[in-house]
Amino acid sequence: MRADTFRLKADDGAELHIYSWLPDEAPRAIFQIAHGLAEHGARYARLAQALTARGFGVYANDHRGHGQTAGVGDLGLFAERDGWRKCISDLWTLNRRIAGDHPEAPVILFGHSMGSFMAQDFVADHSDAIAALVLSGSNGPPPAIAGIGRMIARIERLRLGARGRSALLQAMMFGEFNKRFKPARTEFDWLSRDPAEVDAYVADPLCGFEFTVQLAVDLLDALGPLLKPERLARIRKDLPVYIFSGSDDPVGANLQALADAYRAAGLTHVDMRLYPGARHETLNETNRDEVVSDLVRWSETAIAGS
């Protein structure tokens, strides 16, 4: 395996930090990874090791406001304006770089958690640019109460400013997830049953940080339109989609509705898997070897006809 990092210039001139892991031979396909909220692309190195062993290449960017892409003071801020759209554009920029570097390799877009929602957004406009879509720790349409969250986020922005950090929003968007795991050992027990993995997340200064009010506004605004029929209608019908998570993932309470929405839109190859007892980060769960083996097996089938 050849591991590397490099900087990639976005459309607006921003510098994106990119990780790449490539097999020694020409890759059979490329995984493009979109990571979740308050984490970063380097956390997928273990997955990349397993994938490159099977001949896949892997690229991952640190989103704006995350990891090595975030500038000083910008951790937790996509942008002052249009941050979500800029992140989606960044995925396209990386996708085009991958296509240029590996024109013969089909691309599998893999999104986890917040990255899965970015992938849902991306695919409505660019399904022809990928061979398959994988959504980890995702969810379907937001509940009606999400509108209240959007209103609160705007009030907090008025009170604190776009770069402000709101304990209320942090509790609403992260704190609720831990409730079902009381008595909890840490604030992030909802991520995994493996205490070592949870401790590694807590110890990582680029994970679990407080996001800005503006990021919360951007994210909450983006969720509502993702599964509207007019957007789903733009996705090519033969795109393979794999949705997986843990049965105890507090983020994915409406996961079946996500699969149903894609099927109702006419997509003919939609698969879903829930792992009993697993939590949000199935790639870091106690049964992670099973999860990765299933992912590899599904991906090999998905690209067989590409």
Starting at the edge strand that comes first in sequence, how are the strands of the sheet with 29-34 ordered?
A: 2-9, 15-22, 56-61, 29-34, 107-112, 132-136, 241-246, 270-275
pLDDT value, residue 45: 98
Quote the tokens at residue 195: 């205490």
pLDDT in tens, 242-272: 999 999 999 988 899 999 999 999 999 999 9
pLDDT value, residue 253: 80
Domain boundaries, the chain: 2-142+224-303
Contact 45, 5 (CB under 8 A): no
Q: Give CATH for domain 2-142+224-303.
A: 3.40.50.1820
The vertex-183 CA angle with 178 and 189, nearest 5°, equals 40
The vertex-269 CA angle with 267 and 273, nearest 5°, equals 115
Quote the tokens at residue 205: 């200064």
**Largest separation between any pair of C-alpha atoms in the chain:** 54
Alpha helix locations (H) across the chain? 45-53, 83-101, 114-126, 146-160, 167-173, 195-203, 213-223, 229-232, 255-264, 288-303
pLDDT in tens, 43-82: 999 999 999 999 999 999 999 999 999 987 899 999 999 9
Tokens 């590899």, located at residue = 296
User: pLDDT over 90 for what percent of the chain?
Assistant: 89
Q: How long, in residues, is the chain?
A: 306
φ, ψ at 89 (rounded to 5°): -60, -35
Q: What is the CA radius of gyration of the chain?
A: 18
pLDDT value, residue 306: 64
pLDDT in tens, 121-134: 999 999 999 999 99
- 99 SS3 class: helix
pLDDT value, residue 147: 82
Residues of the chain predicted below pLDDT 70: 305-306
Residue 17's nearest CA partner among 38, 39, 42, 37 is: 42
